[in-house]
Structure 1
């Protein structure tokens, strides 16, 4: 059984993770954790507490820089199109310009190959379109 202080710490960490998720796209923290909780009650904490509170929430890099790095990694992976589009929208929401975002994708052509870059461009267009901008 968890002690009160451990429970409070977990709740604080979960809240921090959700706040970071909401910086990327408002409402994401509740939406994602709700959908994950439908599958398993502990699953949301893996995302909110570890990925967002513990890793993304670390000092040393600002959220803008972290999102550019995330977009680069997801572009290079080439296997997580939905996550790539989400993090592209998130990058734009935390101050990365459209031009900077496109440059991140283009840079990946050198390190991950042209197919990864082209998939990144597809995600870039989708992210712009989802935000109401021209995605063409």
Structure 2
């Protein structure tokens, strides 16, 4: 099978080729980020602009334009998986804060976020889960999400 035919078949299965125009990937990534976070991402570009402008572009193109835009999982599921991964890292408080908020933005509930974090205590340890629960508590308070009655 020729390389061109393999590429065409890959495009048919995913809806795009691996050779997508960089500007298209950037636009797709910026749109997906805005959908998830409710922000344009301009602050990310500006913050990294003086240090590593290419890194910001990689975040948009690869992270949001390619990975978060893939078919197969709805955004709510992707964001809950992201929260779980960040809890397991145990050293990504800023990202965890952003992604807990993003999970809520795309339909995850307060209870689902808490359950995902508690589940990660088995794999990341209780200290990582406890730290993540404290971050979640801040996010919930910022959004006026009251704790469950009980």
TM-score above 0.5 = yes
Contact 1:17–1:29 under 8 Å retained in 2:
no
Q: TM-score when scaled to structure 1?
A: 0.86
Separation in 2, partners of 1:41, 1:87? 22
Which residue of 1 is the match for residue 64 of structure 2? 52
Aligned: 1:61 with 2:57: no
Separation in 2, partners of 1:28, 1:67? 18
The structure with the largest alpha-carbon Rg is: 2
Aligned: 1:88 with 2:100: yes
Segments of 5+ residues of structure 1 without an aligned counterpart are 1-7
**Partner of residue 38 from structure 1, selected from 44, 50, 65:** 50
Contact 2:110–2:145 under 8 Å retained in 1:
no
Separation in 1, partners of 2:40, 2:110? 21
Contact 2:45–2:53 under 8 Å retained in 1:
no
Segments of 5+ residues of structure 2 without an aligned counterpart are 1-19
Q: Cα RMSD between the aligned structures? A: 1.6
Contact 1:102–1:121 under 8 Å retained in 2:
yes
Query: How far off its partner does 1:32 sit?
Result: 1.2
Q: TM-score when scaled to structure 2?
A: 0.79
Separation in 2, partners of 1:120, 1:94? 19
Contact 1:24–1:94 under 8 Å retained in 2:
yes
Query: How far off its partner does 1:39 sit?
Result: 2.0
Which residue of 1 is the match for residue 6 of structure 2? none
Which residue of 1 is the match for residue 5 of structure 2? none
Aligned: 1:77 with 2:89: yes
Aligned: 1:26 with 2:38: yes
Query: How far off its partner does 1:28 sit?
Result: 4.1
Separation in 2, partners of 1:45, 1:20? 14
